[in-house]
A and B are shown apart, each in its own frame.
Chain A
Amino acid sequence: MLHLVLFLVFGAICVAGAINLLVQSHPISSALSLVVVMASLAVEYLLLGAEFVAAVQVIVYAGAVMVLFVFVIMLLNAGVEERTKGSRVALILGIPGVLAGGLLVAWVLIERTGTATVGLGALPGFPKTIGNLLFHDFLLPFEVTSVLVLIAIMGAVVLASRPEPKNPEKES
């Protein structure tokens, strides 16, 4: 029972943080609401019995990634973002569409599985199991991820480097 209550409470905090992220107009406020989302997600993972994922969530996302986010925002000295009206179509079709899609998925999930809570450690979420999966069964995806990261770095180098205008007079 306590599990379910905690789960619902942190779920509500998570959703509230996500909405606040979108509503805030200053990048720093958005980034800090993202921290709230990440941290409450970590608690949700913990309640689902995935203690390793929860720890990683806190260390990597709420910790490292968010620090980078905040650093970049502060270095760029980003100010309050401009408010645009946004497109009407998005407003008229988008919000009901998202609501309908969300309700459909929620209905399917409840219909199929019912609500149940999982005790801490009831599912195989131990670091040992995960390590075995990651470095044995999923060894190839794990290694291939390095190519993905390499491409991302190359992309950053290509797109962020200063273009060299060879023929300045032809530049338009």
Chain B
Amino acid sequence: MNPTLPVGADYVRILPEIVLSIFGMAIMVLDPLVDEKKSQQLLGGLGLIGTLAGLVSTWIMAQSPGFAFWNMVQVDGFSVFFHVLVIAIALVLILTSYEYMAVQQLRAGEYYGLILFGLVGMCLMSSAVELVLIFISLEISSISTYILAGFRRRSATSSESSLKYFLLGSFATAFFLYGVAMMFGATGSTNIDAISAALNSGKVPLLAYVAMALMFVGLGFKVAAAPFHIWTPDVYEGAPAPVVGFMSTAPKAAAFAVLLRIIFEANAPGRFWLIWLSAVLSMTLGNVAALVQDNVKRLLAYSSIAHAGYILVAFAAKPELGAPAVMFYTAAYAAMNVGAFAVVSHLANENERYVTLENYAGLGRSSPILAGTLTIFLISLIGIPITGGFFAKFYVFSAALQSNLVWLTIIGVINSAIGAYYYLKIIVVMYMREAREEVPVLPIPLALRAALALTLAATVYLGVVPGRMLTFVQQSAQQLLQAEHTSAREQVGNAAVPRATQ
């Protein structure tokens, strides 16, 4: 019989979520108490400490892998990887926001609180093995990003962005929920392990295909995969620039974690053509539409659709090859995209005035540091060697090739070539074109320097010595794929599971 109350190990396995919620609430409570001038530094600092504490508690959590709260949450290498990833993204976001919020004259309190609460949802998404919990944490992560998108209260585009994101996002969530209900109807459970057992035990019910398709619609929206990508450019254009860097990586990474669990661990039926089609559409539509953009934020929005397409390519591959490729890609993409948006948000200046491609002309001369770092991020986004983007693409396409997906790989490579054009266009504009109007470049504050250094280091690290990261993602993907075999044993008395070796 299961114990009636959760025991200590249960709490350790959701420790990062608990710590982040506590810091989120502390920020919320302190917000009205502190002076508005100091609130930026104080609450931002508290947020920063919160994310650091989150990283430490993730490390503590990683020491006791297993199930918690009656098979709701599973701590394994896979969930630890995504915990670290999303918390690190938030850390860089807070470092970037420090200056941005001051320049834009936005209220600080709720902003940092919402980031931390959003993180709770994203972390839970990566460790949840129960569709009900996945749904609730998906909502936490989505709703906090809807609100963050509308934070530039004085700008109409920001409100538009928030509203569009909210309406379409709720619609997509409804699809996901309907899919969950159907999956329950098909297999009699909402637990991913139980679903996997039911689907692998002979005839797959027709209902499971419908359920899978509906859940894919919901998650496809969250990762901005075509044909569910229509919202992306408008939302990214209006939302505050650092938030765009955040929401194009962290909630996406969490949604990809959920997709990995549903598609690979539960061995979802009928996924192949669904994913194939969505991958091809995302890559092609994203890259082609990005060619004609002259707003940098819109351009990067279309580029993020294209990158979602590349990641989906790995989902079509064999599980043991695809899963590590997806994990590596999300990490590399997070490093370079968050970095690129850190530069964009610094240059944007008050009211985000300077975000068109033309404003970047002459940046190579006026601010060599910013132009240089942005160039490295763009090179990584293209996928040129010595950057993380190269190995990310390499692993994805080699996984696809080894799974005999020749056409998908060819389409992917052609798309990478198209993509190179618009990234290079930004570099060319920065270095080779004279500025037509004077664009003031503010001095780079310490926090932003730290943010840029971190993302740059991560991008180059993944591009020069990807070995350690690769072994780690391969191991944790292995754990993910073998999860259904272990869970049956642990279901007996999961709360009292002894410390398994990692």
Contact = CB atoms under 8 A, between A and B. Distances in A.
Given A136-B4, A152-B143, A159-B150, A144 B124 contact: yes
A140 B105 CA distance: 38
Contacts of B4: 136
Given A105-B210, A136-B70, A154-B110, A144 B140 contact: yes
B6 to A, nearest CB: 7
Given A111-B206, A151-B117, A154-B147, A144 B137 contact: yes
A67 B69 CA distance: 36
A165 B73 contact: no
A148 B73 contact: no
A112 B205 contact: yes
B351 A170 contact: yes
Contacts of B350: 170
A109 interface: yes
B6 A139 contact: yes
A151 B143 contact: yes
Contacts of B72: 138-141
A116 to B, nearest CB: 13
B206 A112 contact: yes
Given A147-B117, A167-B105, A155 B146 contact: yes
Contacts of B186: 112
A158 B140 contact: no
A144, A154, A155, A157 interface centre (most CB from chain B within 10 Å): A144
Interface in A135-172: 136-141, 144-145, 147-148, 150-152, 154-155, 157-159, 163-167, 170-172
Contact of A147 (B68, B121, B130): B121
Given A157-B110, A163-B153, A167-B105, A148 B136 contact: yes
Contact of B207 (A108, A171, A172): A108
Contacts of B25: 150
A151 B107 CA distance: 16
Contacts of A141: 72, 130, 132-133, 136
A140 B351 contact: no
A109 B211 CA distance: 11
Interface in B104-146: 105, 107, 110, 113-114, 117-118, 120-121, 124, 130, 132-133, 136-137, 139-140, 143-144, 146
Interface in A90-122: 104-105, 108-109, 111-113
Contact of A151 (B2, B14, B105, B147): B147
Given A141-B130, A170-B351, A155 B207 contact: no
B21 interface: yes
Interface SS of A by simple majority: helix
A112 B209 CA distance: 12
B384 interface: no
Interface residues of A, number: 33
B154 A144 contact: no
Interface in B328-373: 350-351
Contacts of A157: 110
Given A151-B143, A163-B154, A172-B351, A108 B21 contact: no
B85 to A, nearest CB: 20
Contacts of A150: 25, 117
Contacts of B130: 141
Interface in B1-58: 2, 4, 6, 14, 17, 21, 25, 28
Nearest to A171: B154
Contacts of A136: 2, 4, 70
A142 B113 CA distance: 21
A144 B2 CA distance: 21
Q: Of B73, B130, B136, which is in contact with the most chain A CB atoms at under 10 Å from its CB? A: B136
B391 interface: no
Contacts of A108: 206-207, 209-210
A133 B191 CA distance: 14
Contacts of A111: 206
Contacts of B162: 159
A159 B107 CA distance: 12
**Which residue, A148, A152, A166, has most C-beta atoms of chain B within 10 A?**
A148
B151 interface: yes
Nearest to A157: B110
A141 B146 CA distance: 21
A158 B140 CA distance: 16
Contacts of B110: 154, 157-158
A139 B5 CA distance: 10
A171 B104 CA distance: 12
Nearest to B132: A141
A151 B114 contact: yes
B454 to A, nearest CB: 27
Nearest to B144: A151
A137 B70 contact: yes
A154 B351 CA distance: 23
B239 to A, nearest CB: 13
Contacts of B150: 158-159
A140 B120 contact: no
28 contacts: A104-B210, A105-B210, A108-B210, A109-B207, A111-B206, A112-B186, A112-B205, A112-B206, A140-B68, A140-B72, A141-B72, A141-B130, A141-B133, A144-B17, A145-B136, A148-B136, A148-B140, A151-B117, A151-B143, A154-B28, A155-B146, A158-B114, A158-B151, A159-B147, A163-B153, A166-B105, A167-B105, A170-B350
Given A147-B140, A148-B140, 5 more contacts: A108-B210, A141-B132, A144-B137, A150-B25, A154-B147
Interface of B: 2, 4, 6, 14, 17, 21, 25, 28, 68-70, 72-73, 105, 107, 110, 113-114, 117-118, 120-121, 124, 130, 132-133, 136-137, 139-140, 143-144, 146-147, 150-151, 153-154, 162, 185-186, 205-207, 209-210, 350-351
Q: Which 5 A-B pairs have the closest CB atoms?
A: A163-B153, A155-B147, A140-B69, A140-B72, A141-B133
